[in-house]
Structure 1
C-alpha cells in the first residue's frame, strides 16, 4: 500500500493502544478507554471476532488458568477479577489480529508512540539524579518507551511500502531516539535495544539475498547465538558484574538479586500452582509489606520481583509460567521462521519487539497482566506468525503441482494466486 487507510477497526485499535501506551497522560481513564474501544472492536464485526477466537482459543488457556487459581488463592477475589480482565485483554488482542494487518499496526504504533515522544520533549521533566523522565513516572518507563519507539521508527523508515512522508518522519524519529535514550540514563535499555535493531537491519538485508544465502546467514546467526548463550551460562555473572561496574550501577541490580532469592523461596514452597494470580503484592499481606519496607517503597505501590519468570511463577506456578513461555518464545520462533520466508519491515519489527520483551523479561515484569500493551503485542506476534505460516503452507501445494502430461503438456497455465490473510502481512 502506498497510502494510509483508515477504517473503524484501525480507529478503535488506535484508541485502545493510545490508552495503554500513554496511560500516564490518560490517568484513571486509560483502562476505561481501552475497555470501551476493545468492546466496540469486538462487536463491530461479531462474525470476524468469533472466527478469530475460534481459531486461536488456545491462547485463552493462560487467563483461564489465572482465573482457576482463585480456588486456592489467598486473595480469591483479586485472582478472579484480574483474571477476567486479563481474559478481556487477550480477547481484544486476538480480535485485533483478525482485523488489522501488520503494516497498519506498525504505522499506527509509530503514531501512538510518537505522541508520547513529542509530549515528553515538550512537557517532560527531570527526575532525581538528572535522568529524564518525560511524561512518564520513572526513567525506566521513559527508557522503555523510547526503546520501542526507536525500533518502530527504524522499521517505518526502512519500509518501502510506507508513504514517503511517513518514512521521512521515521528517519527523524530514529535520529531523535538515540539522544533521548541517553538522557534516560538507562544502560540496560541501551544494551537491549542494540541487538533488536540488528534484527531489523539484518532482516531487511536478506531481501537482497538468495534462498541459499539467507539459509547460510541463518545458520551463522544460530551458531553465534548458541556461542553467546554458552558464554552467558559459563561466565554470565562475571560479565554482568563488569558491565554494571563499567556503567556505575549497583552489582546487585539495586537489590534485585535479593528480591529474586525471596521469590525463589516462595516458588519452592508451591511450585506447581503458585499462591494465586495477583495475590502476592497485596496491601496487608505480611511478606509483601516486608519487601515494600525493605526497599523503601510505599505500601501498595505496585512493586514486583523484577524478573518475569520468578514473579509470575510465584503467583501462577510453574504450569502457568510454562503457558507464558510458550507464548513468548513460541511467538519469537514462529515469527523468526515466517520472517525468514517473508522478510519485510512489519515482520522484522514484530520479531524485534518480541526479542526486546525476552531480553527485558530477565530484569522486568511486563507480561502477562491486564491492560498491558506488551501482553497484547506478545500474543499478537504469535498469532500473526501463525497466520503467515499457515498461509505459506496453503500456497505450497499450488506451487508444486505436477505439470499435466499428454497433448496439452506444452501449454503453461498460470496458477491462480492465493492471497494472504492480510494484504500487507
Structure 2
C-alpha cells in the first residue's frame, strides 16, 4: 500500500490545485503568521500603545489590523469562487453551525452592550476570522497541503524566538521572546510542540530529523518562558491522548463514548480523592503556583462572578467587558491590579460575563461536537485524531487559567478552530479513493 502520509518532499500526495486552492491551503498559516509573528513584531518595534491605561488603549481601533483582515477576507472569497458549490455542505456541519450560533448570539448582544461600537467592531473581526478559516479548511483541496504550511510556519516561529531569547533580556518572571510577556511565548511554543509531535509521527528522513530538532527547541523555549499553564498542559495532554487513541484504536470501541466515560470517571474520582484527603482548591493552587490564589486569579474571579450575577442569562454583551475604556465596569469597579487586565484568566468566566449562560451553553456544545469530530478519525487516521484531540483538550484546559474563547485573533482560540474544522477537509488518500471510484 502506498504511504499517503504528508511530506514536504512528496508532492504527489497533494492533489493538483489551481491558484485558488493553493491560496486556501496557505490561508491558515498566513492567519497564524500574522498572530504569532507579524503582530507581535510590529507591537515590539512600535514600542506599544501610548495610552497609560491598558483599557483605554485596548478600546481603540487599529487601522493596519483592519486593513489586513479585510484584504485577507477579500482574497479568501476570491479564492473560493470556484468552490462555492461545496459551501452549503460545509455550513451545515455541526461544528460550523455551533460557531455561527455563538456569533449570532454575540450579534444580538450588541443591542444591550454598553459599548455597541466597540462590540460591533470586534464582532466583525471575529466573523472575518471564522469565515476565513471555514473557507480555507472547508473548501480546501487537502489537509496535507494545509498542515505542511503550518509546519513551515512553526519552524520559522521557533527559529525567530530562539534568536529573540538570545538578544532580548528576560522579563523578571521568564523569557518572553518576541511577545509582550512570558505567557505569549509559552502559548506559541505549546502550539509548536503539539503540531510538531504530529509532524514527527507522519514524516520520515531528513524532515523528521528537522522536526525532532524543532520539537526539542520548542520545548526548551517553553521551559525558559516559565509559563506554567502551557508547560504543564503540553507535557500531560500528549501523553494522555496517545494512551487514549491507542486504547480506542486497538480495542475497536467507540472513541467518543470512551472519552466521555473517562472524563466523567476522572472528575468523580478527583472529587472523591479531594473529599477523602482534604486536598482542595487551595492545596492545588499551592502545589502549582506556590500560593493559594492561583497567582491572584481568585481575586479576578471573585470580581467577575459578581458582575456575572447582575446579568447571568445574556451577559454584558460580546467583547463588551474588558478593554472598553473609561466608561466600563472594569475601569470603575475592579479592585487594584484587576483594572489593568484584559481578561479574567478563565475563558469560561469571560464567556459568561459577555454572553451569559446562553453563550456558555453554545460553547460547551461546540466543545463536545469538536471532540466527537476528532474521535471519528481514530480508526481511519489515528495520527490526525491525536492532533485534533491534543489541540481541543489543550485549548479547553488552557481556558481554565487563561482566556481565549472567541477573543480576537488569539492563537489559542485559532488552534481550536483548526482542530474542530480539520475533520471536514479531505485527506489526499480520501481524494485518491474518490477519484478511483469515480
Alignment TM class, shorter chain as reference: 0.7 to 0.9
Structure 2-normalised TM-score? 0.78
Q: Which residue of 1 aligns with 2:178?
A: 135
* Candidates 94, 112, 123, aligned match of 2:164: 123
Cα offset, 1:172, TM superposition: 0.9
2:387 matches 1:349: yes
Partner Cα distance (2:177, 2:281) in 1: 28
Write the distance in 2 (CA, Å) between the matches of 1:199 and 1:387.
25
Q: Choose from 93, 96, 109 the match for 2:136.
A: 96
Q: 2:346–2:400: 8 Å Cα contact kept in structure 1?
A: yes
Cα offset for 1:291? 6.0
State the partner residue of 1:413.
none
Q: Which residues of structure 1 form unaligned runs of 5+?
A: 393-415, 421-425
Aligned to 1:378: 416
Q: Is the 8 A contact 1:199 1:348 kept in 2?
A: no
Deviations 1:75-100 (A, max 9, x none): 11122221122111111111011215
RMSD of aligned residue pairs (Cα, Å): 3.3
**Structure 2 counterpart of 1:288:** 330
Q: How does 1:270-349 map to 2 (within 5 A)?
A: 270-281=311-322, 282-290=324-332, 294-295=336-337, 298=340, 303-336=342-375, 338-349=376-387
Q: Does 1:25 align with 2:66?
A: no
| Contact 2:313 2:356 survives alignment (8 Å) | yes
1:40 aligned counterpart, secondary structure: helix
Question: Is 1:167 matched with 2:182?
Answer: no
CA shift, 1:14, in A, is 2.7
SS for the counterpart of 1:92 is helix
Sort the Cα spacing of 1:53 and 1:20 in 2 relative to 1 into closer, same or farther, 3 A: farther
| Count of aligned pairs between the two proteins | 387
**Secondary structure of 2:176's aligned partner:** strand
CA shift for structure 1 position 20: 1.7
Aligned-pair CA distance for 1:12? 3.6
1:368 and 1:346 map into 2 onto residues whose CA distance is: 24
Unaligned runs of 5+ in 2: 1-5, 44-61
TM-score by length of 1: 0.80
Larger RCO of the pair (alpha carbons < 8 Å, separation 6+): 2
The correspondence of residues 235-246 of structure 1 with structure 2, limited to 5 A, is 235=274, 238=279, 240-246=281-287
Name the counterpart of 2:191. Answer: 148
- Report how far residue 243 of structure 1 moved: 4.4
Please tell me whether the aligned partners of residues 15 and 33 of structure 1 are also in contact (alpha carbons under 8 angstroms). no
Range with greater deviation from structure 2 (87-96 or 318-327): 318-327
SS in 1 for 2:253: helix
8 A Cα contact 2:90 2:424, kept in partner: no
Rounded Cα–Cα distance in structure 1 between residues aligned with 2:219 and 2:176: 15
